[in-house]
Amino acid sequence: MWHDSVLGTIGNTPLVRINDLAADLPCTVLGKVEFFNPGGSVKDRIGLQMIEDAEARGAIEPGGTIIEGTSGNTGAGLAIAAIAKGYRCIFTTTDKQSKEKVDVLRGLGAEVLICPTNVEPDDPRSYYSVARRLADEIPNSIYLNQYDNPANAEAHYQTTGPELWEQTEGRITHYIAGAGTGGTISGTSKYLKEKTSDLTVVGVDPYGSAFYTYFHEGVFDEDEIYPYFTEGVGEDILPENMDFDIVDDFVRVDDKAAMQMTRRLAREEGLFIGQSCGMAMAGALDWLNAHRDALTEDDVVVVLLPDSGFRYLSKTYNDEWMTNHGFLERSSDVTAGAVVEARDTSDVITASPDDTLGAVIDTMTHNGISQMPVVDADSNIVGSLTETRILNHLLNHPSARDEAVRGVMGDPLPVVPASLHLEHLSAYLDQDAGAVLVEDQQTPGTYSVLTKSDLIRALARQNGKNAGQ
């Protein structure tokens, strides 16, 4: 027997018992292993469903263009379906996504536009906004909008839910999953709760996402939203596909716990899975342990594991990346302040908002620096300038050397305490400027600039010392 196309292989993914990690729990814990889908993730299900729904509505004609904002996996699912159906694909994604995800999309023939992560959803640079703009500009195209498209949740209502019911022979008592667009947890739970009123649904959210607080307090708290590393899960918006009424509880997991659990699933269970899988399992085990007195040997818990570890070879499965971000322990007590003190100079060269761009360029060139804080007359840090920002501005405005810095500068450099350990610095240095201001502990309000190059040199010195011990 064979399939007419790769689309016939979507779904019917296996359930795998979690043995060592759940050994001390009285219940059965199973993982729904979605990397068995042809595109390597649970999003293959919605890719096909959303395109077929658009076709049924007459929203796209043959030879048209599929446009979507994606963290990578939905794009892969859409690209596979588009290949089988003869559509072009353009995807927008963010600069926090792994290189492997972008490479997969391009390998499947899609065009990929990378947008900044740390902007508001309605910012014209956000990957949501860029996708909408492209759909307005390109004839015979459609922005599928997985966040609000009901075909997303419907895909899981029609496939994932029935599969779990059949695979557990109706014995499933708990369903635990991460939430991003909301379609996976909502569509699956809707089907299962129509089958049994005894099902408990638990959502897992990363710190920095809006869902946890909204579920527990009914408040969309913008102060709760901040950048995090775990990909493909959590949101800074409230998608229409996220049905909070169908969820019974929400728990939160930080990046470190998610990354470490991802590795443990690979090494202890043989499941080579992605970051959001580790987050879901870490949240599931935390919740189950907190409620263990109410669990019995008859309980069957299913944790949705969305994707493959091959999407994260340069991140979660890379020791250097893990260590640099503080997710693996480093035997180092070196701080940001110590790095600054070990340099030949700690003097900070600053610009004024009223300086001309040409003067700043001359200062940077003379001093061999690639970024400068912008400080106003009251010694307040009001912005920053980098070589990249200046270059991009000059390319678009060749005569801009006489412009004032205030019209060109970016956000101020992050300020960190001198006591911050090196392994926690990279999260700040990964931002656009690639530098931070280290505040002097003895003289508050006095700063030194610390760059990625400084961090690399400090780590090299530390590794050299460790090798010689």
Residues 26-82: tens digit of each pLDDT: 999 999 999 999 999 999 999 999 999 999 999 999 999 999 999 889 999 999 999
**Comparing C-alpha atoms, which of 377, 446, 374, 442 is closest to residue 408?**
374
User: What element of type H or E holds 282?
Assistant: helix 275-290
Identify the bridge partners of residue 39 per DSSP, sorted by sequence position: none
Q: Does residue 203 carry a pLDDT above 50?
A: yes
Kindly report, residue by residue over 155-167, the tens digit of the pLDDT.
999 999 999 999 9
Cβ neighbours of residue 463 under 8 Å, at least 6 residues apart?
A: none
Residue 342 vs residue 54, higher pLDDT:
54
Q: What local confidence, expressed as pLDDT, does residue 367 receive?
A: 85
Indicate the CATH number for domain 336-468. Answer: 3.10.580.10
Q: Does residue 468 carry a pLDDT above 50?
A: no
Query: pLDDT category, 205, cuts 50, 70, 90?
Result: very high
Residue ranges matching CATH 3.10.580.10 in the chain: 336-468
Q: Three-class SS of residue 112?
A: strand
Residue ranges matching CATH 3.40.50.1100 in the chain: 9-38+151-323, 44-149
Percent of the chain with pLDDT over 70: 94
Distance CA 467, CA 376 (A): 45
Q: What is the CATH topology of the domain spanning 44-149?
A: Rossmann fold (3.40.50)
Mean pLDDT of 315-344: 80
Exposure b/e, 300-313, CB count within 10 A at least 16 = b: bbbbbbbbbbebbe
Say if CB 173 and CB 199 are below 8 A apart. Answer: yes
Residues known to be catalytic: 43
Q: What is the CATH topology of the domain spanning 9-38+151-323?
A: Rossmann fold (3.40.50)
**Comparing C-alpha atoms, which of 42, 48, 67 is closest to residue 7?**
48
Q: Does residue 469 carry a pLDDT above 50?
A: no
